A and B are shown apart, each in its own frame.
Chain A
Amino acid sequence: MGDNSFLHFLGGNIMEFLSYTGFANVEIGNLIMILVGFFFMWLAVSKEFEPMLLIPIGFGILLGNIPFKDAGLEIGIYEEGSVLNILYDGVARGWYPPLIFLGIGAMTDFSSIIANPKLMLVGAAAQFGIFAAYAIALALGFDPNQAASIGIIGGADGPTAILLSSKLAPNLMGAIAISAYSYMALVPVLQPPVMRALTTHKERTIKMKAPRVVSQTEKIIFPIVGVLLTCFIVPTGLPLLGMLFLGNLLKESGVTRRLAETAKGPMIDIVTILLGTMVGASTQAKYFLTADSILIFAIGAFSFIIATASGVCFVKIFNLFLKEENKINPLIGNAGVSAVPHSARISQKLGLEYDPSNYLLMHAMGPNVAGVIGSAVAAGVLLGFLI
């Protein structure tokens, strides 16, 4: 009798344990998402597509989709008090993206737009992709807040997309972040056909005047004037723009080398790991595998294409008003999206394809960094209007 009850107790315990395992709680959605995670990691390792982002995101997808019994164990990312939930706070409350921007500021050399400030306008023009995607998302039935979060994918700026969606449409944030980072990795595939289609051979071979040398004083003034001007116009852009320009001042001031090194080195690495992993982990199957996610991916691709096209077309129109020696090669128009430096590299590559002596990289970096500012301003505008 005693043995029987012990065996019963033992069996019960084993059954109880089994009910807690992932195998007992797995759903088809979890398996699909785990495959998506594998795909991201494969892209990162084999194809070297944005490995620093896709590895943490891919692995995060695995973490977020390991099934478990919903018994208040405080292990899931959406369970208050769990370790993952605490780390997720930086995404949910939007304080990881400004820290990333601090690092980006410390890495970025704004010399190209200081030397040729008119390239800032190219960065502004490319933001049209955001608002075109906003209109499409509205037409497809999304609410304004959701449409704005989807539209920002066209800014090609992962941290900005995460910040905006965490504030306006937290339920779509996973899909938006994955979409934004995926398309940033796919810039070499998406942009060149649009650039070729919208330019003539003559335009592609325009040689731009070498940028002038920028003094250190100008480089120091830039972040100070930049933050004052942009944040006075769009105070809601303060978290991103403030950190971006602070990082740049740390770099350019010349007296805070250690701080700049930390911001662009260990700090941005730590935040990138946490941000990527938590964004991946937030894509739990029941939230991610929806028709909305598919629509978001489709609109995201469209917004990238529109952003590229509007940057290139703006340069073509701008050239009508410029003297012959000041003309801009429209192949740098694509760099107005803020995928730094990927889109500038595309300009360089295409420029060399049509004229092996035409190096556009330095020129393309102008609209590229202006795009970073432009997308942060656009995010600030959307937040200001909709929150």
Chain B
Amino acid sequence: MHNIKKGLLFIIAIFIGVAGYAQRASSLVINEVQTNNVNGILNKNGERVAWFEVYNPTAAPVNISGCYLTNDSLNLKKYRIIKGDHLTKIEPHQRLLFYCNSDTRNGVDYTNFSLSDSTSNYIAIVSANGLDIIDEVNVPVLKGDTSWGSIYDGDKENRATLAAVSPNAINHLGPESSAEQNFKENDQYGVGMALTAMSVVFTALLCLFISFKIIGKIAITIGAARARRAAGVPKGGKVDPLETSGEVYAAIALALSLHEDNDHDYEETILTMKKVEKRYSPWSSKVYNLRENPKKN
């Protein structure tokens, strides 16, 4: 018993560890990079420096502390994000901006490396073990006041020079998501949606149907075997244990019939006021419940 408890605790610890790791950083994305900041965002010192944005695409907060940032693929542990700063917690679907001017004195969001505006730049987020790369990008040389990154927030597959520079803001500023736009352009009458979605719904329920057809058959076979054993019928003999008796059906039919006819007693819920006669009782008499007044001698 003790071992079982230990085993369970171990499994729970592994699950928590795995879940914790999953929420820690593995989903983070380098969302936008500006290497040539001429007239763009100012940092705390009023300087315009290169920056990049890290995006949390998950529905849970992610703490980036302990992870590493680098601009050198041969040195993955170049800048360690210190623990204990509130900035390192990135809220769901939110961003954290890192300024790259090789000066970490201004806070955790200032890296100890710079980005070049004349050559391409490698940037990576590395997990706390210093080995696993969470996300990496090779940013081409950018013109002044342009940025490069995910066209839609968190999309690692589609990265390009962005239509507008958007530090700490959504990358795609259009009113519609790419998926909606796709349907708007390619499925104007909704036929595609109806066909695909109905196929999925049917597939899901068809899978359930097939599964329970099989499970049902197994259950009937097992039930019949048990009934045979209980009744002492040899193998091959027939006993139908699942047959419901006629009396049960009669009882159900009667109940339904009564229900349909509303043939049940109905309580009149009328409130009335009636004077209640108070009979004398020594148990409720004040005389017996109060102390007598002290007598003067």
Q: Count B-side interface residues using an 8 Å CB cutoff.
A: 42
Contacts of A144 in B (CB 8 A): 180, 183-184, 187, 193
Q: Which of B27-55 contact A (CB under 8 A)?
A: none
Task: Name the contact of A361 in the complex, choosing from B203, B204, B215, B256 (C-beta under 8 A).
Answer: B256
Say if the beta carbon of A387 comes within 8 Å of chain B: yes
Say if the beta carbon of B281 comes within 8 Å of chain A: no
Q: Mark B173-188, 1 if CB is under 8 A from A, else 0.
A: 0001101100110011
Contacts of B209 in A (CB 8 A): 117-118, 120-121
Q: Mark A218-260, 1 if CB is under 8 A from B, else 0.
A: 1001100110011001100000000000000000000000000
Contacts of B210 in A (CB 8 A): 117
Q: Mark B219-256, 1 if CB is under 8 A from A, else 0.
A: 11001000000000000000000101000010011001
Say if the beta carbon of B260 comes within 8 Å of chain A: yes
Contact A385 B179 (CB under 8 A): yes
**Chain A interface secondary structure, helix, strand, loop or mixed?**
helix
Contact B208 A117 (CB under 8 A): yes
Residue of B nearest to A222 (CB): B212
Contact B201 A225 (CB under 8 A): no
Say if the beta carbon of A101 comes within 8 Å of chain B: no
For the complex, give the distance between the alpha carbons of A128 and B198 in Å: 7
Give the A-B contact count at a CB cut-off of 8 A: 139
Shortest C-beta distance, A56 to chain B (Å), equals 23
Contact A138 B211 (CB under 8 A): no
Task: Name the contact of A229 in the complex, choosing from B184, B211, B242 (C-beta under 8 A).
Answer: B211
Say if the beta carbon of B191 comes within 8 Å of chain A: yes
Contact B176 A143 (CB under 8 A): yes
For the complex, give the distance between the alpha carbons of A233 and B216 in Å: 22
Contact B180 A378 (CB under 8 A): no
Residue of B nearest to A138 (CB): B190
Say if the beta carbon of A172 comes within 8 Å of chain B: no
Task: Name the contact of A213 in the complex, choosing from B207, B212, B244, B249 (C-beta under 8 A).
Answer: B244
Say if the beta carbon of A173 comes within 8 Å of chain B: no
Of A187-195, A282-290, A369-377, the segment with at least 4 beta carbons within 8 Å of chain B is: A369-377
Residue of B nearest to A114 (CB): B212
For the complex, give the distance between the alpha carbons of A138 and B253 in Å: 47
Contact A124 B216 (CB under 8 A): no
Contact B193 A143 (CB under 8 A): no
Contacts of B213 in A (CB 8 A): 117-118
Say if the beta carbon of B266 comes within 8 Å of chain A: no
Contact B194 A218 (CB under 8 A): no
Contact B190 A124 (CB under 8 A): no
Contact A230 B200 (CB under 8 A): no
Task: Name the contact of B190 in the complex, choosing from A117, A147, A387 (C-beta under 8 A).
Answer: A147
With A127-B198, A132-B194 in contact, do A377 and B205 touch (Cβ < 8 Å)? yes
Say if the beta carbon of B15 comes within 8 Å of chain A: no
Say if the beta carbon of A98 comes within 8 Å of chain B: no
Contact B215 A385 (CB under 8 A): no
Q: Which of A136-150 contact B (CB under 8 A)?
A: 138-139, 143-145, 147-148
Contacts of B177 in A (CB 8 A): 145, 386-387
Say if the beta carbon of A359 comes within 8 Å of chain B: yes
Contacts of A121 in B (CB 8 A): 202, 205-206, 209
Contacts of B212 in A (CB 8 A): 113-114, 117, 120, 218, 222, 225
Contact B205 A134 (CB under 8 A): no
Say if the beta carbon of A382 comes within 8 Å of chain B: yes
Contact A115 B216 (CB under 8 A): yes
Say if the beta carbon of A200 comes within 8 Å of chain B: no
Contacts of A226 in B (CB 8 A): 208
Shortest C-beta distance, A332 to chain B (Å), equals 15
Contact A117 B216 (CB under 8 A): yes
Contact A124 B242 (CB under 8 A): no
For the complex, give the distance between the alpha carbons of A115 and B260 in Å: 25
Contact B184 A127 (CB under 8 A): no
For the complex, give the distance between the alpha carbons of A159 and B82 in Å: 44
Contact A381 B184 (CB under 8 A): no
Contact B200 A212 (CB under 8 A): no
Say if the beta carbon of A5 comes within 8 Å of chain B: no
Q: Mark A87-108, 1 if CB is under 8 A from B, else 0.
A: 0000000000000000000000
Contact A373 B183 (CB under 8 A): no
With A121-B202, A215-B219, A221-B215 in contact, do A131 and B190 touch (Cβ < 8 Å)? yes
With A218-B215, A385-B193 in contact, do A229 and B183 touch (Cβ < 8 Å)? no
Contacts of B288 in A (CB 8 A): none
With A361-B256, A374-B201 in contact, do A143 and B208 touch (Cβ < 8 Å)? no
For the complex, give the distance between the alpha carbons of A361 and B259 in Å: 12
For the complex, give the distance between the alpha carbons of A221 and B180 in Å: 38
Q: Using a CB–CB distance below 8 Å, which chain B residues touch chain A? A: 176-177, 179-180, 183-184, 187-191, 193-194, 196-198, 200-213, 215-216, 219-220, 223, 242, 244, 249, 252-253, 256, 260
What are the 7 A-B residue pairs with the smallest beta carbon separation, nearest first? A135-B190, A131-B194, A117-B212, A124-B205, A144-B183, A381-B197, A120-B205
Can you give 16 contacting A-B residue pairs, CB < 8 Å? A117-B208, A117-B216, A118-B209, A128-B194, A135-B189, A212-B220, A212-B242, A218-B212, A221-B215, A225-B208, A225-B211, A229-B207, A233-B200, A359-B256, A377-B205, A381-B201
Told that A212-B242, A233-B203 touch, could you supply 17 new A-B pairs with CB distance under 8 A? Answer: A117-B208, A117-B209, A117-B210, A124-B201, A125-B202, A131-B194, A135-B189, A215-B219, A225-B211, A225-B215, A226-B208, A230-B207, A233-B200, A233-B204, A233-B207, A370-B205, A373-B208
